[in-house]
Amino acid sequence: MSGRSTAWWWVGALAIVLYCMFPVAWIVSLSLKAPSDLDNGSFLPSAVTWQNYELILTGSASELFLPALRNSVGICLIATGIAVVLAALCAYAVARLDFPGKAFVLGLSLAVSMFPVISIVTPLFNIWRAIGLFDTWAGLVIPYLSITLPLSIWTLTAFFREIPWEMEQAAQVDGATTAQAFRKVIVPLAGPGVATTAIIAFFLAWNDFVYGISLTSTEAARPVPAALAFFTGASQFEEPTGAISAAAVIVTIPVVVLVLLFQRQIVAGLTQGAVKG
Amino acid sequence: MSATTSTAPPPQRAPRTPHRSDRARQEARLGMMLCAPAILVLLAVVGYPILQAVWDSLFSYKLTNPDARSFVGLGNFVLVLSDSIWWQALGVTVLITVVTVAVELVLGFALALVMNNALSTLRPALRTAILIPYAIITVVSAFAFRFMFDLTSGFMNLWLPFVPEDLDWFGSFGTSMAVVALSEIWKTTPFISLLLLSGLAQVPGELQEAAKVDGATWWQRMRRVTIPNMKAAIMVALLFRTLDAFRIFDNIFIMTNGAAGTESVAFLAYRQTIQRLEIGIGSAVSVLLTIAVALIAVMFVKGFKVNLAGSTRAGR
């Protein structure tokens, strides 16, 4: 590759990084602006202030933000956990066993994952009100399974197909007990795939907005994305732009950390399930 | 598949395939038992509500006046389909879908090419960067773009040379849609580019070399070798993104709240059900949206021969 074309790929790479970081950098910058600075029309704050973070973590907006953060973390973790356990059983069967209905399992999970979420919200809104699940954690965990479970089945099946399962038998031939073979051979082989699936499923649940605003009404269960939408008008004297930005930065940090730690596996998980030649 | 129907096939099949041993039957039963919980949960959380929505759509039913609930047959559908609000929402949805998916395909392809050719030292950094828009909450990216173009907090009017300083982007239809589409494109192009990148990796290197030796230009190689060989990946990416774009909701809710005629079909369903408590009409809109999504999926799978099930089975 000639020096000139190498330089061009560097330019292209730089452009991609700029493209990806630009709105993120903007929201970070906005979160560090003082209220008087918000309409200065410039990208960067003229002076860095932490008062937006104080406002949402200890100040008046914390009553809105902190319960929402707790709800989001709790509900998404539960929905991810249930989905990964159920999907692991299912994906193991699809990848390893011969039984009728495999295509049905994959087809159903694909169909569900492409489903418009809003179509499920309409009836759930009514049913949840009738049976008392409206505005509860369970009332969100259950519909979140419609997001996390199909993706987990699909992704885990792709991962499990890559595992050399013969190694389990080989270990048993070498004298390992079934439990040992599972712990020492299968868990290390399957672990990364399961972890990646859990991360992607968690991202999807964390991202949900439709269920969040439709099936909750108070801080008892309202997750962060929905709470952000309700920041508007929370304080009557100033636009909640700074508070929203600070909250947005806080909920973005865990996502960025996970991406930094697991980028290679996440890319594999996202593409393996979809494009398998 | 439910547990009751799953036990039926083996006895019928047994005479035809006498080699199908007890062991194989046991394996089949274990397989179905392992899948049963996940399948039952899927059917319960999606299948049941959808049937309920179909049922609800046949009634004139408003939550504020539950006693007046009455059967109207397809009346709600007639009502929705004869209203210009529905057609406006459908038009907005189709417009956003077509524009964003087309732009994302081109842009995503460019990103995939850069990543594919980038030096291996750069690749991890690029991969991390590209995952960030994918992983960021849609609502957060919607706020970022809204504040960027907002009249008080924004800076775009000062940065863009051909734009008047007091342009209210969210005041009119065209400009609102442009910002909504921009935010949607920013957030979802990385996903397309990752799918296309894995498609690029499947193009045989020898073919590229052979074409190069034969004197094909870069553009010729792209059109005759690269793109035909990654058609499957392109189609899968298109299918996923089209269906995803068609249910657009978050961006519109945060940026315009449906103002300036920017309401999408999903937003219309939300507004009818959750805000106006018109369960009957909202259900009808939901059912229509589901039918539209199913039609798009069928069109892709039958019309463009996107073989999703086959592509996964080939992996065995």
Domains identified in chain A and CATH numbers: 62-274 (1.10.3720.10)
> Would you state the pLDDT for residue A177?
83
B184 touches chain A (CB under 8 A): no
Closest Cα in chain B, distance from residue A176 (Å): 23
Is B3 part of the contact surface with chain A (CB cutoff 8 Å)?
A: no
CB-based contact (8 Å) between B139 and chain A? yes
Comparing alpha-carbon positions, the chain B residue that sits nearest to A251 is B137
Residue A5: which residues within 8 A CB-CB, separation 6 or more? none
A244–B274 C-beta distance less than 8 A: no
H helix or E strand, kind and range, residue A259? helix A241-274
Residue B306 pLDDT: 65
Question: Nearest CA to CA, how far is B33 from chain A (Å)?
Answer: 9
First to last CA, chain A: 29
Shortest distance, CA B130 to any CA of chain A (angstroms): 6
Q: What are the residues facing B71 on neighbouring strands?
A: B59
Contacts with B270 from chain A: Cβ below 8 Å: 118, 121, 210, 214
pLDDT attached to residue B87: 96
**Whats the size of chain A, residue-wise?**
277
How confident is the model over B79-110, as pLDDT tens digits? 999 999 999 999 999 999 999 999 999 999 99
Nearest-angstrom CA–CA distance, A32 and A220:
29
What is the number of CB-based contacts under 8 A between chain A and chain B?
A: 319
Residue B190 and residue B134 in contact, taking contact as beta carbons nearer than 8 Å = yes
User: How many whole angstroms separate alpha carbon B28 and alpha carbon B31?
Assistant: 5
B182 Cβ under 8 Å from any chain A Cβ = no
CB pair distance less than 8 Å for A20 and B50 = no
Q: Which chain A positions have a beta carbon within 8 Å of B135's beta carbon?
A: 203, 255-256, 258-259
Token pair 């399974």 is found at A145
- Contact of B6 with chain A, judged by CB distance below 8 Å, is answered with yes
B163 CB neighbours in chain A (<8 A) are none
Phi-psi map region of A216: left, alpha, beta (phi>0 left; psi -120 to 50 alpha): beta
Which chain A residue has the Cα nearest residue B3? A101
> Are the Cβ atoms of B38 and A89 closer than 8 angstroms?
yes
B201 touches chain A (CB under 8 A): no
Contact B186 A23 (CB under 8 A): yes
Q: Residue A232: what pLDDT?
A: 56
Partner A contacted by B39 (CB < 8 A): yes
Gap between the Cα atoms of A45 and A38, Å rounded? 8
Classify residue B217 as exposed, middle or buried by CB count within 10 Å of its CB (0-12, 13-18, 19+).
exposed
Phi/psi at A45 (5° precision): -70, 150
Under an 8 A CB cutoff, do B139 and A228 touch? yes
Those of residues 66-105 in B touching chain A at CB distance below 8 A are: none
Supply the pLDDT for residue B316: 28
Between CA A102 and CA B39 the distance in angstroms is 11
Residues in chain B, how many? Answer: 316
Q: For chain A, give the longest Cα–Cα distance.
A: 73
Q: Mean pLDDT over residues B128-149, rounded? A: 93
- Tell me if residue A13 falls in helix, strand or coil: helix
* Closest Cβ–Cβ partner in A9, A12, A248 for B143: A248
Q: What is the pLDDT of residues B210-265, one digit of tens each?
A: 888 888 888 888 888 888 888 888 888 898 899 999 999 999 999 999 888 999 99
Residue B64 CA, distance from chain mean position: 34
- Under an 8 A CB cutoff, do A228 and B63 touch? no
Distances (CA, A) of A67 to A222, A227, B289, B311: 8, 9, 33, 44
Other beta carbons less than 10 A from residue B290's beta carbon = 20
Q: How many CB atoms lie within 10 A of CB A206?
A: 25
- Cβ atoms within 10 Å of B20's Cβ, excluding its own: 14
CA angle at residue A58 from A54 to A63, to 5 degrees?
120
Mean pLDDT of B9-23: 55
Plot region of A72 (φ>0 → left; ψ -120 to 50 → alpha; else → beta)? alpha
Average pLDDT per consecutive 10 residues, chain A (277 residues; last block may be shorter):
74 91 94 86 89 88 90 96 95 89 88 87 89 94 94 90 83 84 83 90 94 92 91 60 92 88 85 56
Judged by a CB distance cut-off of 8 A, whether residue B266 touches chain A is yes
What does the pLDDT look like over B39-92, one tens digit per residue?
Answer: 999 999 999 999 999 999 999 888 888 888 889 889 999 999 999 999 999 999
Is A116:B246 a contact under the CB 8 Å cutoff? yes
Domain ranges of chain B: 3-56, 86-313
Q: Looking at residue B96, what is its pLDDT?
A: 96
CA nearest to A36 within chain B: B153
The residues facing B70 across adjacent strands are B60
Site of tokens 């039918």: B291
**Chain B residue numbers touching A90 (CB-CB < 8 A):** 34-35, 37-39
Q: CB A9 to CB B119 under 8 A?
A: yes
Which residues are CB-contacts of B104 (< 8 A; sequence separation ≥ 6)? B185, B188, B189, B192, B241
B78 Cβ neighbours under 8 A, 6+ residues apart: none
N-term to C-term CA, chain B = 22
Distance of alpha carbon B17 from alpha carbon B292, whole angstroms: 43
Tell me the torsion sign for CA atoms B86, B92, B98, B101. negative
Check A121 against B274: CB less than 8 A apart: yes
Q: Which of A78, A117, A66 is nearest to A246 (CA)?
A: A66
Q: How far apart are CA A46 and CA B6, in angstroms?
A: 68
Asked if B8 reaches chain A (Cβ–Cβ under 8 Å), the answer is no
Do B247 and A26 lie within an 8 Å CB cutoff?
no
Cα gap A46→A42, rounded to integer Å: 9
Q: Please check whether the domain covering B86-313 is classified as CATH 2.40.50.360.
A: no
Q: Smallest Cβ distance to A118: which of B144, B150, B266?
A: B266
- Inter-chain residue contact B130 with A20, CB threshold 8 Å: yes
Q: Which of residues 232-251 of B touch A (CB under 8 A)?
A: 232-233, 236-237, 240, 243-244, 246-247, 249-250
Answer whether B129 sits within 8 Å of A146, measured CB to CB.
Answer: no
Integer Cα distance of B237 and B248 in angstroms: 17
| Distance from C-alpha of B232 to C-alpha of B235, rounded to nearest angstrom | 5
Question: Tokens 């991962």 belong to which residue?
Answer: A159
> With b meaning 16 or more CB within 10 Å and e meaning fewer, what string describes B58-95?
bbbbbbeeeeeeeebeebbbeebeeeeebebbbebbee
